[in-house]
Amino acid sequence: MNITRRTALAALAGFISPVSAFASPTLYRLDTRASSVGFRFVLNGAEQKGTMPVRSAKILIDPENLGASQVDVSVNVRGARTPFIFATKALIGPSVLNAARFPTIRFISQRVTLAPDGRLSGGARITGQLTIRDETRTVTLDANLYRARGSAPQDLSELQIRLTGIVKRSDFGATGYPELVRDDVLLDILAILRSF
């Protein structure tokens, strides 16, 4: 069976009908209450979890050219939380994220690599610039994009995007407490999006 370009473009995350393949690029706004950045780190040999609120996000989805879709997410460092108050204070303190001086973490996409089936779910990757403590590095995050559960195939008014990946905090100068906290940090960004 031959799969045409039209059919592949219609399969945004496996749920867009052929009619929507001709839709114009759509800008989405962030639902800040339902969105968050989760992270995992190893403290004294035990994995810990934390969260940071998403401050803002701009997501542009182009059904005609999924590879041209764009992501711009900013995170509120001062709102970081972990299960332990001392860990939270150390995290936002001057030797790690230094929230007083650098209150925002930002990721801006530069390139979208679609999954082998031409979709933004099931293995797509987004490469872009991650800025922490005013240090900017190129990182690649795994990406999955889904429409709202139970919505009609052509209904793209609400989407969920999840970005995950591992970064080294030392690459960004967040080097405090190396004897207690491992260098690798797992990012898990969940953004709930609604079209304007």
Range of the domain at 16: 5-195
Total length of the chain:
196
Which residues on neighbouring strands pair with residue 70, listed in sequence order?
60
pLDDT tens, residue order, the chain (196 aa): 433 333 333 333 333 333 344 457 888 888 888 888 999 999 999 999 999 998 888 888 887 788 888 989 899 999 999 999 999 999 999 999 999 999 999 999 999 998 888 877 677 999 999 999 999 999 999 988 888 888 887 788 888 888 899 999 999 999 999 999 999 999 998 888 888 7
Rg of the chain over Cα atoms, rounded to whole angstroms, equals 18
Beta bridge partners of 140: 127
Contacts of 87 (CB under 8 A, 6+ apart): 43, 48, 50
Q: Are 154 and 17 in contact (CB under 8 A)?
A: yes
- Count of domains for the chain: 1
CATH code for the domain of 101: 2.40.128.110
Contact indicator for 158, 147 with CB cutoff of 8 Å:
yes
